[in-house]
């Protein structure tokens, strides 16, 4: 598969220093198949970051170009794509949407020690001490569980019920929350496929919780909330990231959904500080940016910041500086990596339903 090259285009019209030579950043994204739209979003976000630096003084005086590889969201294709990026001697790689394909890609890239910033995939296993050049700019599933715990704490819940569907992600999330709460766990249940949610709601309310946490699909989450409200439940309801969807509100109904909380990775339209950037993106690409675009934009910028700090493109120097980013901010605030290469303060936010729309409740940040 050919290497697609995207160079950030100058907007022109103003004096800028001449750039000498090129530095190439690899981009891994699904450019075909069911996730192609996500891939285009990701590539556009990365391209915007490159264009902005090329409009300025470049990166160490060089023009930045992107080498885009289609990972197809499949492990085999991703491995081949990663190998081609290694051969292209990229400064680093950003991207990765699907967990399985991203796992394969980072394994292939780790051998070459190419600094890799995973933008959208969220598997806990992506960050590993055996891959010191891999960093995650998206919060992991485990971190989403922590975000839920912290918000439940903020709301001073006293008795918590945890209900989850049988998906692996829901199982992990419900486990993190059930094990982590400091107040009594009033109820916990895993919902089987096809199980009557009305019965689940009845059982959930029996121990009189004041907070119900749902991990699972948007539709079942909405239905469960509808049933709970129908039975007179007035306490808090929080759902995991799949419920960051109109489908959740539709299944619950506007009235029942009102005030429900959702843990979700930040997206541009939830962050007021991203509005101007989103406008720039829209003007350039004739469509609003999605989450993948914002994550790729930040990942390219973080990688370039590390190169700038290092004053060098040597993989080890760049990786070292990714662990020591100085004053690097995103629309969420300062971005720092934890010793395990996940985000120190991850990008999960708390959204809430207001009059049928999903809006920001909290970024969970002190800054």
**Binding-site string for other proteins from residue 257 to residue 296, where x marks contact by CB under 8 A and - marks none:** ----------------------------------------
Per CB under 8 A, the segment of 48-56, 113-121, 182-190, 262-270 that binds other proteins is 182-190
User: Which tokens belong to 216?
Assistant: 């699972």
Total interface residues for other proteins by CB under 8 A: 31
Does residue 324 touch other proteins according to CB under 8 A? yes
User: Between 80 and 241, whose beta carbon lies closer to other proteins?
Assistant: 241
A 10 A CB-CB count for 17 gives: 9
305-312's contacts with Cβ under 8 Å and 24+ in sequence apart are 306/92, 306/115, 307/23, 307/59, 307/60, 307/91, 307/92, 308/59, 308/60, 311/60
Per CB under 8 A, the segment of 49-57, 234-242, 297-305, 316-324 that binds other proteins is 316-324
User: Between 154 and 287, whose beta carbon lies closer to other proteins?
Assistant: 154
User: Which tokens belong to 267?
Assistant: 């997206």
Question: H/E element holding 154?
Answer: helix 141-154
* Rounded-to-integer distance, Cα 197 and Cα 130, Å: 43
Does residue 326 touch other proteins according to CB under 8 A? yes
User: Between 90 and 349, whose beta carbon lies closer to other proteins?
Assistant: 349
Phi and psi of 128, rounded to 5°? -150, 145
- Residues between 38 and 97 that touch other proteins (CB under 8 A): none
Does residue 314 touch other proteins according to CB under 8 A? no
Nearest approach, Cβ of residue 234 and other proteins (Å): 17
Exposure class string for 85-107: b at 16+ Cβ within 10 A, else e = bbeeebbbbbbbbbbebbbbbbb
Of 86, 171, 320, 360, which one interacts with other proteins (CB under 8 A)? 320
Q: Largest Cα–Cα distance of the chain, in whole Å?
A: 70
| Adjacent-strand bridge partners of 213 | 162, 238
Does residue 338 touch other proteins according to CB under 8 A? yes
Does residue 210 touch other proteins according to CB under 8 A? no
Checking DSSP bridges between strand 116-118 and strand 92-95, what pairing results, if any?
A: parallel
Of 180, 198, 235, 356, which one interacts with other proteins (CB under 8 A)? 180
Per CB under 8 A, the segment of 13-21, 72-80, 291-299, 342-350 that binds other proteins is 342-350
Nearest approach, Cβ of residue 159 and other proteins (Å): 8
* Rounded-to-integer distance, Cα 42 and Cα 95, Å: 7
Does residue 329 touch other proteins according to CB under 8 A? no
User: How wide is the angle at C-alpha 236 spanned by C-alphas 161 and 260, nearest 5°?
Assistant: 115
Per CB under 8 A, the segment of 54-62, 180-188, 259-267, 281-289 that binds other proteins is 180-188
Tell me if 307 sits within 8 A of 314, measured CB to CB. Answer: no
Q: How many residues does the chain have?
A: 367
* Rounded-to-integer distance, Cα 246 and Cα 115, Å: 36
Q: Which spans of this chain sit near other proteins (rule: CB under 8 A)?
A: 132, 143, 146, 150, 153-154, 156, 158, 180, 182-184, 309, 320-321, 323-324, 326-327, 338-340, 342, 344-346, 362, 364-367
């Amino acid at each position: 598969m050919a290497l697609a090259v995207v160079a950030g285009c100058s907007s022109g019209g103003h004096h800028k220093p001449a750039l000498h030579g090129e530095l190439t950043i690899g981009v891994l994204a699904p450019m075909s198949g069911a996730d192609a739209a996500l891939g285009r979003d990701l590539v556009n976000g990365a391209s915007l970051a490159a264009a902005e630096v090329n409009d300025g003084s470049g990166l160490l005086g060089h023009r930045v170009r992107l080498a885009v590889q289609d990972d197809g969201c499949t492990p085999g294709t991703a491995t081949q794509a990663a190998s081609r990026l290694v051969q292209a001697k990229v400064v680093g790689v950003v991207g990765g949407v699907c967990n399985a394909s991203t796992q394969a890609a980072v394994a292939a890239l780790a051998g070459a020690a190419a600094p890799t910033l995973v933008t959208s995939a969220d598997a806990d296993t992506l960050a590993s001490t055996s891959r010191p050049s891999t960093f995650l700019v998206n919060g992991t599933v485990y971190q989403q569980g922590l975000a839920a715990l912290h918000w439940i704490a903020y709301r001073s819940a006293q008795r918590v019920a945890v209900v989850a569907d049988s998906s692996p992600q829901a199982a992990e999330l419900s486990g993190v929350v059930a094990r982590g709460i400091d107040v009594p766990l009033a109820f916990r249940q895993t919902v089987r496929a096809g199980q009557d949610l009305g019965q689940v709601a009845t059982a959930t309310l029996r121990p009189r919780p004041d907070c119900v946490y749902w991990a699972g699909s948007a539709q079942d989450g909405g239905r469960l909330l509808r049933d709970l409200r129908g039975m007179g439940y007035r306490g808090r309801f929080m759902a995991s990231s799949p419920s960051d969807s109109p489908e959740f509100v539709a299944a619950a109904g506007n009235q029942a959904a009102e005030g429900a909380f959702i843990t979700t990775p930040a997206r541009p339209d939830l962050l007021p500080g991203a509005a101007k950037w989103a406008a720039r993106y829209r003007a350039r690409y004739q469509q609003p940016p999605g989450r993948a675009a914002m994550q790729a934009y930040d990942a390219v910028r973080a990688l370039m910041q590390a190169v700038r700090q290092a004053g060098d493109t040597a993989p080890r120097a760049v990786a070292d500086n990714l662990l020591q980013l100085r004053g690097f901010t995103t629309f969420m605030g300062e971005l720092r990596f934890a010793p395990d290469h996940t985000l120190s303060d991850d990008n999960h936010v708390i959204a809430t339903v207001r009059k049928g729309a999903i809006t920001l409740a909290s970024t969970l940040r002190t800054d």
